[in-house]
Amino acid sequence: MKNTILLLIIFIPTLIFAQGDNIKGKWILDYVTYEDGNPLEIENPLFSIFKSIEILDDHIIIDGIRKNKATIYVGRISTRYLKYKYYIDNKYLVLKEDKDDKLYYYLRVIDFKFKYPESKPSRIEYEGKTVLKYDRLLNVDILNNFNYDTLIAFQKNIKSYKKHSFTNKLFKATYILTADNKIEHVKIEKSVSPKFDEDFIKEAHNLSMLYNNKTENDILMEYTDFMGTYWPERNDVQKEFFANKVIADYYFTNKQFNLSKEIYTILYNSKDVLTVIDNAIVNDIYKKLYVSLLHTNNLVDACIMLNDIKESDYFNVRNYLKEYCPQ
C-alpha cells in the first residue's frame, strides 16, 4: 500500500508536467463550435476572428498582448480571472472557458500555416531591404498596449497636439523592426504636421520597448493614430446616416437579413460622408453587409466583397471564404 501511494506521489506531478509541457507554445484559433458540436451562426463575431494563446511555464499570453500568470495542470489552465478546461484532439488544443458554452479549436502556428498556406507572411521591398510584412502569425510579442502617449519623449505635449493642432487627421508611419529588436528606416506615410512628424521620427527608437522580435528577421511594422476630436460635431447628412444604421442594426439583430442587406448596401455606398474616425463603423457595416448577403444567398456579391478584403483582414474573413467561396 505504501509503495502504491509512493508511486502515485511520483506519477501525478510527472503527469502534470508532461501535460503542461505538451501544450506549451503558441496556438492560433482555427474555429469555434458550441459545446454540443453544432457550428456557430455566421453572424456570430467568433465565426471568423483572430485569437491566439501562448502557453509558457507559469504564464499565458492571450492574443499576443495580455500576459497572465497561470497555473497549468492536467486538463486545466487557471489565471486570476480566467479558468479553462482543455484537451488535445488530434493536433488541436481544445479550450473551454468556465461558464461558456463554446469550444475553441486551436492549432500550433506551424500546423496552422501548413493547413492554410495562404496565411504565411509575405516578403516585400522596403527602403532597399527585403523584409517580412508584419502579421499576427509572426513570432513577435507585443509587450505593452500600443500607447503612444506613454512611449514618446514628448508625451507631455501629445494631448495638446491631439486637442488643438489637428482636425480629424490620421497619422500613419511605417518602420522596420530589426531582427535584434531595433527601430530603423522610419517613414511618415500620412502627415499631420511637420513638427509632429519630426518629433515622431526623432523619438521612434523608443518604440522598440514594445516588441520582442523572435523571428530572426527584419519586419515591416505600421503605426497609426487618430489626431482630432473623438466626438466631433455631426452634420445633418451624417446624423441621417447613423439613424439609418440603427435601423439596419435592428433588422440584423432580429435576423431580418433581406431588410438589413438593403440598408447596409445604401450605407456602404454612401460611406464617404463619414470621416477617418468612423473607420470602425464602416468596417462594421461592411461585415454585416456580407453576412446579410450570405444569409440571403447572394453568394457572388458576398464572395467578391470577402476576396477584396482578404489581403488586409485575412482572419476576419477566412472562415467565410472557406465555407462559402472555396477556390
Number of helices (H), then strands (E), belonging to the chain: the values are 10, 15
- 244 vs 231: CA distance, rounded Å: 19
Q: Which of 211-215, 260-264, 285-289 has the lowest mean pLDDT?
A: 211-215
- Residue 7 shares a structural domain with residue 108: yes
Of 62, 83, 113, the domain-final residue: 113
Place of cell 509587450: 143
> Is the pLDDT at 50 greater than 80, yes or no?
yes
pLDDT of residue 104: 97
Last residue of a domain, one of 113, 137, 157: 113
Residue 131 has pLDDT above 50, yes or no: yes
Task: Inform me whether the pLDDT recorded for 200 exceeds 80.
Answer: yes
- The C-alpha cell that represents 189 in the structure block: 506615410
Co-location of 11 and 100 in the same domain: yes
Burial of 151 (0-12, 13-18, 19+ CB in 10 A): middle
Average pLDDT over residues 95-104: 94
Q: Who wins on pLDDT, 146 or 162?
A: 162
Closest listed residue to residue 166, CA positions, set 201, 197, 193 = 193
- Mean pLDDT value across the chain: 83
Which of 50-54, 127-131, 175-179, 191-195 shows the lowest per-residue confidence on average (mean pLDDT)? 191-195
Rounded to whole angstroms, the Cα distance separating 257 from 296 reads 7
Identify residue 310 by its one-letter amino acid code. Answer: K
**48: Cβ contacts below 8 Å, ≥ 6 apart:** 315, 316, 317, 318, 319, 320
Residue 155: pLDDT over 50: no
What average pLDDT does this structure show over 153-157?
A: 46
**Interval 222-233: pLDDT, tens:** 888 777 656 667
Indicate whether 117 pLDDT > 90: no
Q: What are phi and psi of 90, to 5 degrees?
A: 60, -120
CB 211 within 8 A of CB 143: yes
| Average of per-residue pLDDT across 93-107 | 95
| High-pLDDT (> 90) share of the chain, % | 49
186 and 243 part of one domain: no
Q: State the pLDDT at residue 2.
A: 42
Evaluate whether 232 touches 166 at the Cβ level (below 8 Å). Answer: no
Number of structural domains, the chain? 3
Residue 36 has pLDDT above 90, yes or no: yes
The burial of 317, by beta-carbon neighbours within 10 Å (0-12 exposed, 13-18 middle, 19 or more buried), is given as buried
Name the range with the highest mean pLDDT among 124-133, 179-188, 249-258.
Answer: 249-258
Count of Cβ atoms closer than 10 Å to residue 29 Cβ: 22
Nearest to 20 by CA among 84, 115, 82, 116: 84
Residues 85 and 107 in one domain: yes
- Residues 289 and 311 both lie in one domain: yes
Asked whether the beta carbons of 139 and 70 are under 8 A apart, the reply is no
Strands (E), the chain: 25-34, 52-55, 59-62, 66-73, 76-79, 83-89, 92-97, 102-108, 123-126, 129-133, 140-142, 169-177, 183-190, 211-213, 219-227
CATH of the domain at 36: 2.40.128
Q: Are residues 103 and 159 in the same domain?
A: no
| Predicted local confidence at residue 9, as pLDDT | 38
Q: Which amino acid is at 252?
A: F
Instruction: State yes or no: pLDDT of 141 exceeds 50.
Output: yes
Determine the average pLDDT of the residues in 66-72.
Answer: 84
213 shares a domain with 160: yes
> Which range among 184-193, 243-252, 253-262 shows the weakest confidence by mean pLDDT?
184-193
Is the domain of 144 the same as that of 183? yes
Residues 223 and 257 grouped into a single domain:
no
| Residue 62 shares a structural domain with residue 126 | no
Residue 160 corresponds to which amino acid?
S
Say what the alpha-carbon torsion angle 302, 305, 307, 310 is, to the nearest 10 degrees: -120
Q: How far apart are CA 233 and CA 240, in angstroms?
A: 13
Which residue's entry shows cell 530572426?
216
Give the lowest-confidence range in 190-199, 304-313, 316-325.
190-199
Helix (H) or strand (E) holding 294: helix 279-295
Strand partners, 33: 39, 103
Choosing from 113, 141, 157, the residue where a domain stops is 113
Q: 297 or 82: whose pLDDT is higher?
A: 297
Beta carbons of 201 and 186 less than 8 angstroms apart = yes
Examine the domain organization and report whether 142 and 108 are in the same domain. Answer: no
Maximal CA-CA distance, the chain? 83
In this structure, the answer to whether residues 106 and 29 fall within a common structural domain is: yes
Lowest mean pLDDT among 34-48, 135-149, 188-202: 135-149
Q: Quote the cell numbers at residue 177.
A: 523592426
- Domain containing 50: what range? 2-113
